[in-house]
Structure 1
């Protein structure tokens, strides 16, 4: 099974990243639970985000299973309530990639770096790496975790 630290390393090599988190999707609550973090002090594992505020993001990443590219600080501010903390870490662009298994969204990779760091080519590279997170997110689901629908 690929460890999420290995996924982070591959993202760092192939896409570039300052802040990397993996969130497991909790469909019953429209929430995401952090299961991996490159910055555990600022973004601890176990933290949750509800995504009702960013309805367009939810429709794109979770419902349509499409990646999201936020190339600049304005886009980051639109999606993240914690944009000030994100900016304090030197991040001003984001790629969110759904992790899909058999048509079901298990979670999302959150890949952030300096403003202007990402483009469509970066998104394609990130998408190619998302399947590496499937085994780890399946394990979360198998343990009765959020991806399995348990709260």
Structure 2
């Protein structure tokens, strides 16, 4: 019943929502109801044509924890198996355990200090290219199949709002 109630609340809230940030707040409330403690961030591709080849620039467009991960934070990523999977091929990445997070994220110590031990990164594609990522971190060391499915569905529901937010940020740059 909790899944149904959270889904109904999210649908009702998003039905008339025009503000991308407010919509993501509703998505975070559903994430919290469905998965419990954790972190949701959204990064948009901020790579510019003049950036060095092989570099991908990301900018945080939304976060559920602005103290640890403020909106506007930027990351420069080089080509790695993680960037190839998530950002180039547009495939979901699941990282479980501190070793997996440490191998992928420069801020693994901060992630661990927040009690987070696993991540699901969902690429949001537009025209076949990854325009943004929907990132859920949790305290559990392993994700269950239904949790991965829930995160992917939340990302899909959030996609139009995130792409609109990405367009706004892109035009402001």
For Structure 1 versus Structure 2, the TM-score category normalised by the shorter chain is 0.7 to 0.9
Between 131-140 and 36-45, report the one with greater CA deviation: 131-140
Q: Which runs of 5+ in 2 are unaligned?
A: 1-17
Give the 5 Å matches for 1:1-151.
1=18, 3-28=23-48, 29=51, 30-52=56-78, 55-143=80-168, 145-146=169-170
Query: Contact 2:61–2:166 (CA<8 Å) still a contact in 1?
Result: no
Cα distance change on mapping 1:44 and 1:123 into 2, 3 Å: same
Measured at CA, do residues 119 and 7 of structure 1 come closer, stay the same or move farther in structure 2, by a change above 3 Å?
same
Q: Does the Cα contact within 8 Å between 1:73 and 1:115 map onto a contact in 2?
A: no
Partner-residue secondary structure (3-state), 2:60? strand
- Using the TM superposition, give the Cα deviation of residue 17 of structure 1 relative to its aligned residue in structure 2, in angstroms: 4.3
Question: Which one has more relative contact order, counting CA pairs under 8 Å at least 6 apart?
Answer: 1
Decide whether the 8 Å contact of 2:88 with 2:129 is kept in 1.
no
Higher helix share: 2
Checking the alignment, whether the CA contact within 8 Å between 1:106 and 1:134 is kept in structure 2 is no
Distance 2:34 2:127 in 1: 25
Aligned residues: 147
**Structure number with larger C-alpha Rg:** 2
